[in-house]
Amino acid sequence: MNAKKSGPPRGGTTARYPSRSSARMALAPGILEAIILLAGLALVGGDAYDFVRYPVAILAAVIGWFAIQAKAYYWLIGLAPIVVLWNPVFPFSFPDAVWSSLHLAAVGVVVAAGLIIRVRVAE
């Protein structure tokens, strides 16, 4: 009848809550960019498509900056083409089917980057 009690250790709650030495800083921009890319599928080929180019290029650059901070340089292989292809200053003109495919590929890149990139934070 000597049963052990399960629960948090008596010394405090340090074992229960691990320290936050890193954070997923690219997650929010990645999800926001995925929403913009999916909504932008309806605007491909129209005049209002320029309103999609600006936030997509800017958010991809932000995620790329977090990748550089996290020293996850391999994510730049997918993020740099997004910044270049969706830039509004020197726009590329592809057929609508190509843009739609690029949108879906970019959604995969930014969501995966947002979930995997972890930036060290100071405590």
Residue 65 reports pLDDT greater than 90: yes
Q: 47 lies in a domain?
A: yes
Give me the half-sphere count of Cα atoms (radius 13 Å) on the Cβ side of residue 108: 6
pLDDT at position 91, please? 87
Each residue's pLDDT tens digit, 103-118? 999 999 999 999 998 8
Q: 3 lies in a domain?
A: no
Q: 97 lies in a domain?
A: yes
Contact 72, 42 (CB under 8 A): no
Residue 40 reports pLDDT greater than 60: yes
Highest mean pLDDT among 1-5, 24-28, 74-78: 74-78
Confidence of residue 54 (pLDDT cuts 50, 70, 90): very high
Residue 24 reports pLDDT greater than 90: no
- Which of helix, strand or coil describes residue 87? coil
Q: 101 lies in a domain?
A: yes
What is the spatial distance between Cα 83 and Cα 88, in angstroms, rounded to a whole number?
10
What is the spatial distance between Cα 121 and Cα 82, in angstroms, rounded to a whole number?
26
Q: 114 lies in a domain?
A: yes
What is the spatial distance between Cα 33 and Cα 41, in angstroms, rounded to a whole number?
12
Q: 64 lies in a domain?
A: yes
Instruction: Count the domains in the chain.
Output: 1
Q: 84 lies in a domain?
A: yes
Whose tokens are 């990645």? That residue is: 30
Residue 72's domain spans which residues? 22-120
Say if residue 23 is exposed, middle or buried (CB neighbours under 10 Å; 0-12, 13-18, 19+). Answer: middle
pLDDT at position 120, please? 83
Q: 45 lies in a domain?
A: yes
